[in-house]
Chain A
Amino acid sequence: MPLTAEALAARLQDTLGDKITQSRIALGELTIEVAAADWLEVARRLRDEPGLAFDMLIDLAGVDYSAYKDGAWAGRRFAVVLHLLSVAKNHRLRVRTFCPDDDFPVLPSLVEVWPAANWFEREAFDLFGIVFEGHPDLRRLLTDYGFIGHPFRKDFPLSGHVEMRYDPELKRVIYQPVTIEPREVTPRIVREDTYGDVGRG
Chain B
Amino acid sequence: MAEIRNYTLNFGPQHPAAHGVLRLVLELDGEVIERADPHIGLLHRATEKLAEHKTFLQSVPYMDRLDYVSMMCNEHAYVLAIEKLLGITPPLRAQYIRVMFDELTRILNHLMWLGAHALDIGAMTVFLYAFREREDIMDMYEAVSGARMHAAYYRPGGVYRDLPDRMPQYEVSPYKDAEEVKRLNENRQGSLLDFIEDFTNRFPTYVDEYETLLTDNRIWKQRTVGIGVVSPERAKALGLTGPMLRGSGVVWDLRRHQPYEVYDQLDFEIPVGRNGDCYDRYLVRIEEMRQANRIVRQCVDWLKKNPGPVIVDNHKVAPPSREAMKANMEELIHHFKLFTEGMHVPEGEAYAAVEHPKGEFGIYLISDGANKPYRMKIRPAGFTHMAALDELARGHMIADVVAIIGTIDIVFGDIDR
Query: B351 at interface (Cβ–Cβ under 8 A)?
Result: yes
Q: Is the CB of A188 within 8 A of B257?
A: no
Complex-state Cα separation, A140 to B140, whole angstroms: 41
Nearest chain A CB to B23's CB is how many angstroms away? 10
List which A162-201 residues lie within 8 A (CB) of chain B. Answer: 184, 186, 188-191
Contact (A63, B369) CB under 8 Å given A55-B237, A116-B237, A142-B40: no
Query: A141 at interface (Cβ–Cβ under 8 A)?
Result: yes
Query: B105 at interface (Cβ–Cβ under 8 A)?
Result: no
Complex-state Cα separation, A29 to B84, whole angstroms: 10
Q: Is the CB of B384 within 8 A of A90?
A: no
Query: B350 at interface (Cβ–Cβ under 8 A)?
Result: yes
Q: Which residues of B contact A184 (CB under 8 A)?
A: 53
Q: Which of B9-17, B156-164, B370-378 contacts A (4 or more CB under 8 A)?
A: B370-378
List which A61-116 residues lie within 8 A (CB) of chain B. Answer: 61, 63-64, 67-69, 81, 83, 87, 90, 92, 94, 114-116
Q: Which residues of B contact A188 (CB under 8 A)?
A: 53, 370-372
Q: Is the CB of A81 within 8 A of B364?
A: yes
Query: B258 at interface (Cβ–Cβ under 8 A)?
Result: yes
Nearest chain A CB to B269's CB is how many angstroms away? 19
Choice from A94, A142, A158 contacting B41 with Cβ under 8 Å: A142
Contact (A27, B84) CB under 8 Å given A61-B364, A186-B54: yes
Contact (A152, B369) CB under 8 Å given A26-B349, A87-B236: no
- Size band of the interface chain A makes with B: 35 or more
Q: Is the CB of A143 within 8 A of B379?
A: no
Contact (A158, B50) CB under 8 Å given A116-B237, A119-B384: yes
Q: Which residue of A lies closest to B234 (CB)?
A: A115
Q: Which residues of A contact B377 (CB under 8 A)?
A: 59, 61, 81
Q: Is the CB of A90 within 8 A of B237?
A: no
Query: A32 at interface (Cβ–Cβ under 8 A)?
Result: no
Q: Which residue of A lies closest to B337 (CB)?
A: A196
Binary A-proximity of B261-283 (CB < 8 A = 1, otherwise 0): 00000000000000000000000
Binary B-proximity of A48-63 (CB < 8 A = 1, otherwise 0): 0000000111110101
Q: Which residue of B lies closest to A56 (CB)?
A: B236
Query: B341 at interface (Cβ–Cβ under 8 A)?
Result: yes
Contact (A143, B341) CB under 8 Å given A118-B387, A151-B46, A158-B53: no
Q: Is the CB of A115 within 8 A of B238?
A: yes
Choice from B236, B257, B348 contacting A26 with Cβ under 8 Å: B348
Contact (A186, B371) CB under 8 Å given A63-B366, A83-B351, A115-B238: yes
Nearest chain B CB to A196's CB is how many angstroms away? 9
Q: Is the CB of B58 within 8 A of A142?
A: no
Looking at chain B's contact residues, is the secondary structure mostly helix, strand, loop, or mixed? mixed
Q: Is the CB of A191 within 8 A of B40?
A: no
Q: Which residues of B contact A55 (CB under 8 A)?
A: 236-237
List which B349-375 residues lie within 8 A (CB) of chain A. Answer: 349-351, 353, 360, 362, 364, 366, 368-372, 374-375
Nearest chain A CB to B40's CB is how many angstroms away? 7
Q: Is the CB of A114 within 8 A of B372?
A: no
Nearest chain A CB to B36's CB is how many angstroms away? 13
Q: Which residues of B contact A155 (CB under 8 A)?
A: none
Q: Which residues of B contact A87 (CB under 8 A)?
A: 236, 250, 252
Query: A18 at interface (Cβ–Cβ under 8 A)?
Result: no
Q: Which residues of A contact B379 (CB under 8 A)?
A: 58-59, 83
Complex-state Cα separation, A143 to B239, whole angstroms: 23
Which of B44, B58, B250 has its CB near the most chain A CB atoms (within 10 A)?
A: B44
Q: Which residues of A contact B368 (CB under 8 A)?
A: 68-69, 190
Q: Is the CB of B48 within 8 A of A152?
A: yes
List which A98-148 residues lie within 8 A (CB) of chain B. Answer: 114-116, 118-120, 140-144
Query: B416 at interface (Cβ–Cβ under 8 A)?
Result: yes
Q: Which residues of B contact A2 (CB under 8 A)?
A: 257-258
Complex-state Cα separation, A31 to B341, whole angstroms: 30
Binary B-proximity of A149-162 (CB < 8 A = 1, otherwise 0): 00110000010000
Q: Is the CB of B44 within 8 A of A116?
A: no
Query: B340 at interface (Cβ–Cβ under 8 A)?
Result: yes
Q: Which residues of A contact B392 (CB under 8 A)?
A: none
Q: Which residue of A lies closest to B85 (CB)?
A: A27
Q: Which residues of B contact A191 (CB under 8 A)?
A: 344, 369
Complex-state Cα separation, A2 to B44, whole angstroms: 37
Choice from A29, A67, A120 contacting B351 with Cβ under 8 Å: A29
Q: Is the CB of A69 within 8 A of B369?
A: yes
Contact (A144, B41) CB under 8 Å given A115-B238, A116-B387, A119-B387: yes
Q: Which residues of B contact A90 (CB under 8 A)?
A: 257-258
Complex-state Cα separation, A151 to B48, whole angstroms: 11
Which of A68, A92, A94 has its CB near the most chain B CB atoms (within 10 A)?
A: A68
Query: B342 at interface (Cβ–Cβ under 8 A)?
Result: yes
Nearest chain B CB to A182's CB is how many angstroms away? 10
Choice from B54, B342, B350, B384 contacting A27 with Cβ under 8 Å: B350
Q: Which residues of B contact A69 (CB under 8 A)?
A: 368-369
Query: B383 at interface (Cβ–Cβ under 8 A)?
Result: yes
Complex-state Cα separation, A2 to B351, whole angstroms: 18
5 CB contacts below 8 A, A to B, read A94-B351, A116-B237, A186-B341, A189-B341, A190-B370
For the complex with contacts A81-B364, A152-B48, 8 further pairs of A-B residues with Cβ separation under 8 Å are A56-B237, A68-B368, A92-B258, A115-B237, A119-B384, A141-B41, A144-B41, A186-B371
